[in-house]
Amino acid sequence: DAGITQSPRHKVTETGTPVTLRCHQTENHRYMYWYRQDPGHGLRLIHYSYGVKDTDKGEVSDGYSVSRSKTEDFLLTLESATSSQTSVYFCAISPSQETQYFGPGTRLLVL
């Protein structure tokens, strides 16, 4: 998967708890993205990064925050998880704002 990993791959948590998902790349690509995938909605962009410490909001950013302190790592944090954040989360990387390479995904269940 183009040198991109996500951790954890599966997580079950309770409403109100904080959750952090990690995306790690070995490609040194500038751009990194977090998406969520839900039935009937396809993939929706949560946040993206265009460089170290440079991030911006996507289409569905409410309830999520991100950080990128190193080129290779992009963290997605749910400060206080809600059931509506149950989803499959995908990280993607891109060298050129064109082709994106996706990670294997993280399945998150919020009870």
Partner 1 sequence: SQQGEEDPQALSIQEGENATMNCSYKTSINNLQWYRQNSGRGLVHLILIRSNEREKHSGRLRVTLDTSKKSSSLLITASRAADTASYFCATDNTGNQFYFGTGTSLTVIP
Amino acid at 96: S
Pairing of strands 10-13, 106-110: parallel
Considering only 35, 64, 78, 108, the residue that binds partner 1 (CB under 8 A) is 35
Region of 12-20, 28-36, 69-77, 79-87 interacting with partner 1 (CB under 8 A): 28-36
CB of 77 to partner 1, least distance (A): 20
Mapped onto helix, strand or coil, the DSSP state of residue 17 is coil
* 41 vs 70 by CB, closer to partner 1: 41
9 binding partner 1? (CB under 8 A): no
> What dihedral do alpha carbons 23, 101, 13, 20 form, nearest 10°?
20
Vertex 44, ends 40 and 111: CA angle to 5°? 70
61 binding partner 1? (CB under 8 A): no
100 binding partner 1? (CB under 8 A): yes
State the residue for tokens 């569905």.
60
Residues that bind partner 1 (CB under 8 A): 1, 31, 33, 35, 40-45, 48, 50, 56, 58-59, 90, 92, 97-105
